[in-house]
């Protein structure tokens, strides 16, 4: 009898518990909505002092920047050029062909190399302002290609007497040419040319005209580079002329432009073949025949890729 009463009581709890929760929820909801109180989301704005206090609790002051002095790396004394590396105080530099060599080149082009004792940009800025130099390029280590304003021989002598300068001297015309251009090409060749940055307005157009007169069949220039198409019969003369031209600081073979695979896919008509063909072009279902008496059926490169191998001779 007691167990039956207990079972009925448990069933009564199971039935009434969800109903009581719903009733309580409804009563609570009615109670909250019926209260004559201000909206709980109506937050009063913080004053300036409270905002500063709140910000101070979440933010901290950034540490002040500090200056750390470090020693400049000592110069190696070596100038690294495409033609070779050398110490200008010990040797005269890499050898070049007689047609690409000129004594006192600075007298014709105004170009000179200045090498400092260390990598000190302030020293270079002071030299530029004092001697009215125009920096055109950098030549590691601590070397700079500059344009001299006037009287190059006496200017180079003055630069060498300056204690801030390790060495100053002429740049051979052959040092401005990539070694890859010294070998004539079998056919036409495209040459990439870097003009000096001090040509000014109109100078690049004149240079392009002169490149054609030097032997190029086509030439164009902008403020950063020039390109020339050189026939094989004009190659030697063209290289000699651009090497001696002081408006050009570097020349090398141009990178050949190639059609991208996706573009070549469309230009060659493969895309239309794939769209209209009943077969696929991914290699599935195709068969290849190889005639080679040295072919080994168990070769690792052919494992799982050969349908059958027949060794027939005669």
198, pLDDT greater than 70? yes
Same domain, 244 and 280: no
Lowest-confidence pick of 48-62, 248-262, 263-277: 263-277
Contacts of 96 by beta carbon, 8 Å cutoff, 6+ apart: 83, 172, 173, 174, 175
Higher pLDDT, 12 or 312: 12
Whether cis (ω within 30° of 0) applies to the bond prior to 141 is yes
Please, which residues bridge with residue 170 across strands?
A: 112
Q: Of 123, 155, 176, which residue constitutes the final position of a domain? A: 176
42, pLDDT greater than 90? no
Lowest-confidence pick of 45-54, 138-147, 155-164: 45-54
Q: Are the C-beta atoms of 111 and 105 separated by less than 8 Å?
A: yes
User: Residue 95: what pLDDT?
Assistant: 92
Q: Of 146, 176, 206, which residue constitutes the final position of a domain? A: 176
In a domain, 145, yes or no: yes
Nearest-5° angle of CA 29, CA 42, CA 36? 45
Lowest-confidence pick of 119-128, 140-149, 261-270: 261-270
Same domain, 164 and 100: yes
Digit-coded pLDDT (tens) for 95-120: 999 999 998 999 999 999 999 998 88
DSSP H or E segment with residue 180: none
**Which stretches of the chain are assigned E, i.e. beta strand?**
79-81, 84-86, 111-116, 134-139, 143-147, 165-170, 189-195, 218-221, 226-230, 248-253
User: Residue 235: what pLDDT?
Assistant: 94
Q: How far apart are CA 235 and CA 215, in angstroms?
A: 8
Please, which residues bridge with residue 156 across strands?
A: none
What are φ and ψ of residue 85, in 5° steps? -105, 145
Q: Of 144, 167, 153, 196, which Cα lies nearest the Cα of 92?
A: 167
The predicted model scores a pTM of 0.62
Same domain, 189 and 165: no
Digit-coded pLDDT (tens) for 45-65: 888 888 888 888 888 777 888
CA separation (Å) from 120 to 45, 66, 115? 57, 21, 11
Q: How far apart are CA 213 and CA 284, in angstroms?
A: 57
Digit-coded pLDDT (tens) for 219-228: 999 888 999 9
Digit-coded pLDDT (tens) for 166-192: 999 999 999 999 999 999 888 899 999
Q: Residues 84-103: what's their mean pLDDT?
A: 94
Same domain, 152 and 203: no
Q: How far apart are CA 73 and CA 71, in angstroms?
A: 6
Residue numbers of the domain that contains 284 = 261-302
Higher pLDDT, 21 or 79: 79
User: Residue 34: what pLDDT?
Assistant: 44
Same domain, 208 and 275: no
Q: Of 84, 149, 67, 59, which Cα lies nearest the Cα of 112?
A: 149
In a domain, 2, yes or no: no
**Residue holding tokens 């019926």?**
34
Q: Read off the pLDDT band of 25 (50, 70, 90).
A: very low
Q: Read off the pLDDT band of 22 (50, 70, 90).
A: very low
Domain count, the chain: 3
CATH number of the domain where residue 115 is located: 3.30.70.80
Q: How far apart are CA 211 and CA 227, in angstroms?
A: 9
Same domain, 167 and 195: no
User: Residue 196: what pLDDT?
Assistant: 94
Same domain, 110 and 162: yes
23, pLDDT greater than 50? no
User: Residue 156: what pLDDT?
Assistant: 94
Q: How far is CA 133 from the centre of its chain?
A: 29
In a domain, 49, yes or no: no
Same domain, 195 and 265: no
In a domain, 8, yes or no: no
Q: Residues 282-301: what's their mean pLDDT?
A: 64
In a domain, 24, yes or no: no
Q: Read off the pLDDT band of 296 (50, 70, 90).
A: low
Highest mean pLDDT among 6-10, 206-210, 256-260: 206-210
Same domain, 196 and 122: no
For the chain, give the mean pLDDT: 82
Q: Residues 206-227: what's their mean pLDDT?
A: 94
Same domain, 231 and 268: no
Q: Residues 193-201: what's their mean pLDDT?
A: 90
């Amino acid at each position: 009898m007691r167990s039956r009463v207990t079972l009925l009581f448990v069933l009564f709890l199971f039935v009434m518990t969800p109903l009581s929760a719903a009733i309580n929820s409804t009563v609570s909801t009615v109670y909250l909505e019926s209260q004559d109180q201000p909206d709980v989301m109506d937050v009063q704005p913080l004053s300036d002092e409270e905002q500063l206090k709140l910000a101070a609790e979440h933010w901290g002051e950034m540490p002040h920047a500090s200056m750390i002095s470090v020693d400049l790396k000592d110069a190696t004394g070596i100038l690294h050029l495409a033609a070779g590396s050398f110490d200008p105080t010990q040797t005269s530099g890499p050898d070049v062909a007689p047609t690409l060599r000129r004594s006192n080149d600075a007298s014709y082009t105004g170009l000179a190399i200045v090498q400092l004792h260390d990598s000190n940009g302030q020293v270079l800025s002071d030299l530029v302002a004092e001697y009215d130099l125009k920096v055109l390029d950098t030549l590691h280590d601590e070397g700079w290609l500059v344009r001299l304003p006037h009287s190059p021989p006496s200017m180079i002598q003055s630069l060498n007497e300056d204690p801030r300068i390790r060495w100053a001297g002429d740049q051979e015309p052959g040092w401005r040419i990539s070694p890859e251009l010294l070998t004539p090409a079998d056919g036409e060749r495209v040459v990439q040319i870097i003009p000096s940055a001090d040509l000014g307005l109109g100078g690049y157009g004149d240079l392009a005209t002169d490149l054609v007169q030097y032997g190029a069949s086509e030439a164009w220039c902008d403020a950063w580079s020039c390109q020339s198409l050189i026939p094989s019969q004009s190659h030697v003369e063209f290289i000699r002329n651009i090497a001696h031209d002081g408006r050009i600081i570097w020349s090398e073979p141009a990178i050949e432009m190639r059609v991208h695979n996706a573009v070549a896919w469309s230009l060659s008509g493969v895309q239309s073949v794939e769209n209209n063909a009943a077969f696929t072009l991914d290699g599935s279902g195709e068969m290849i025949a190889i005639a080679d008496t040295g072919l080994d059926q168990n070769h690792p490169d052919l494992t799982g890729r050969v349908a059958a191998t027949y060794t027939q001779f005669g």
